């Protein structure tokens, strides 16, 4: 029997959210087909790839990373190097130093850092906070204020602190905000409902459904992303018609397989290659499940994933 192609094009679609400004502005979402299914219909905006570095500086013990950031010392210099990595469409900057359980830097210091990075680049900026609920509630509104006019995306608005962050980021200072839920589809939807009840429209939202790395209960993460896209596309669920962002790097480079040195476990081979492998496979699987943007750390991962997207879409 000859193959009959029945394209699955949905009457509902994911909303579009624009990050950044000017020529380098980036639109996420907008699709009405399954992720990467360009054979069913045009993929309006292919999944985007971003590169992340933190205020602690890049991990120069990895030769590929050291080469990419060679000669860059200040945050502004690092940011410029980051946005020049081939395949990068946005820069993600993590305020690791603001964590109260770490350096516990002042809000003013963190804001100054973000400003330095934002002023150095022309690509859209994504900011990750301290990952502490109380600190982020204080920090992220100030970040939003400092980034006026940049149309940046602030991650980490959680159930406990979403209100102040979202109102400051979107309503007061014109940024975009992402709800963060920990692999809980019902909470993911609830957060978006709460945003809408604050008067925030979908076009100002992104969603982070919770991330993990392959080999660590990853199937659960995949099924969450798929279920969200299923509701958005097949059930026309407006509360989920929002682009998904997947912060891969922080997960991929913090597990034993990417932390153990070659001296510790010689039979595992190069640490850098292991980490890239984890990062690439996690990113590609997340994109296949429906993610609209992935945040990566290693330039080789960025090159691989962006090439894959370019060839498939």
Partner 1 sequence: MEKFIILGERIQIMSPEVKQAFIDRDPEPILSRAKDQLAAGAHYLDLNIGPASKNGEELMVWGVKLLQENFDNVPVALDTVNAKAIEAGLAVYNRSKGKPIINSADAGDRIGMIDLAADNDAIIIALCCAAGVPKDNDERMEYCQTMLERGLSLGMEPEDLWFDPLTLVIKGMQEKQLEFLEFIRQLTDMGLNSTAGISNASNGMPDALRPLVNRILLAMAMEAGLSSVILDPGAPEIMDVVRTVNVVLGRTLYADSYLEL
Calpha distance 282→285 (Å, rounded): 5
Cα separation of 91 and 296, whole Å? 10
In the complex, minimum distance from the CB of residue 40 to partner 1, in angstroms, rounded to a whole number: 18
Beta strands in the chain (DSSP E): 16-19, 26-29, 48-54, 90-94, 125-128, 153-157, 176-180, 205-208, 245-247, 293-296
Q: CA angle, corner 152, sides to 150 and 155, nearest 5?
A: 160
255 binds partner 1 per the rule CB under 8 A: no
Binding residue for partner 1, selected from 75, 231, 245, 293, defined by CB under 8 A: 231
Restricting to residues 105-134, name those near partner 1 by CB under 8 A.
Answer: none
Residue 239 binding partner 1, by CB under 8 A: yes
33: three-class secondary structure by DSSP: coil
Residue closer to partner 1, measured from CB, 101 or 197: 197
Q: List the beta strands (DSSP E) in 69-228.
A: 90-94, 125-128, 153-157, 176-180, 205-208
139 near partner 1, rule: CB under 8 A = no
The site string for partner 1 over 161-200 (x = CB under 8 A, - otherwise) reads ------------------------xxx-xx--xx--x---
Q: By rule CB under 8 A, what count of residues binds partner 1?
A: 17
Q: Give the integer Cα–Cα distance in Å for 293 and 97.
A: 25
Interface with partner 1 in residues 12-51 (CB under 8 A) = none
With binding defined as CB under 8 A, does residue 8 bind partner 1?
Answer: no
**Nearest distance from residue 226's CB to partner 1, in Å?**
12
Nearer to partner 1 by Cβ, of 189 and 271: the residue is 189
Structure token pair of residue 61: 């013990």
The rounded Cα 23 to chain-centroid distance in angstroms is 20
Residue 227 binding partner 1, by CB under 8 A: yes
Q: Which of residues 58-77 bind partner 1 (CB under 8 A)?
A: none
Q: Structure tokens of 151?
A: 């149309």
Stretch of 65-73, 166-174, 236-244, 256-264 lying at the interface with partner 1 (CB under 8 A): 236-244
Footprint of partner 1 (CB under 8 A): 185-187, 189-190, 193-194, 197, 227-228, 231, 234-237, 239-240
């Amino acid at each position: 029997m000859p193959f009959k192609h029945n394209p699955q094009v949905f009457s509902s679609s994911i909303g579009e959210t624009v990050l950044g400004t000017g020529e380098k502005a980036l639109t996420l979402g907008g699709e009405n087909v399954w992720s990467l299914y360009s054979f069913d219909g045009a993929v309006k905006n292919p999944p985007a790839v971003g590169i992340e570095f933190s205020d602690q500086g890049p991990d120069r013990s990895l030769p590929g990373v050291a080469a990419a950031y060679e000669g860059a010392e200040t945050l502004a210099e690092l940011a410029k190097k980051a946005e020049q990595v081939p395949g990068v469409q946005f820069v993600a900057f993590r305020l690791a130093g603001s964590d109260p359980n770490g350096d516990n830097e002042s809000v003013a210091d963190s804001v100054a850092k973000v400003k330095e990075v934002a002023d150095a680049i022309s690509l859209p900026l994504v900011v990750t906070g301290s990952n502490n609920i109380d600190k982020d509630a204080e920090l992220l509104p100030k970040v939003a204020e400092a980034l006026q006019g940049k149309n940046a995306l602030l991650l980490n608005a959680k159930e406990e602190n979403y209100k102040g962050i979202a109102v400051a980021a979107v309503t007061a200072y014109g940024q975009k905000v992402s709800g963060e839920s920990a692999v809980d589809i019902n909470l993911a939807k609830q957060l978006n409902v709460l945003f809408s009840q604050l008067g925030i429209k979908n076009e100002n939202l992104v969603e982070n459904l919770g991330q993990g790395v392959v080999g660590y209960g990853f199937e659960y993460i995949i099924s969450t992303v798929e279920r969200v896209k299923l509701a958005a596309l097949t059930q026309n669920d407006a509360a989920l018609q929002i682009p998904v962002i997947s912060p891969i790097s922080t997960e991929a480079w913090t597990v034993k397989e990417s932390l153990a040195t070659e001296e510790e476990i010689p039979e595992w081979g190069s640490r850098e290659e292991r980490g890239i492998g984890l990062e690439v496979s996690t990113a590609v699987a997340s994109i296949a499940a429906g993610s609209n943007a992935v945040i990566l750390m290693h330039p080789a991962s960025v090159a691989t994933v962006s090439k894959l997207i370019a060839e498939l879409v």
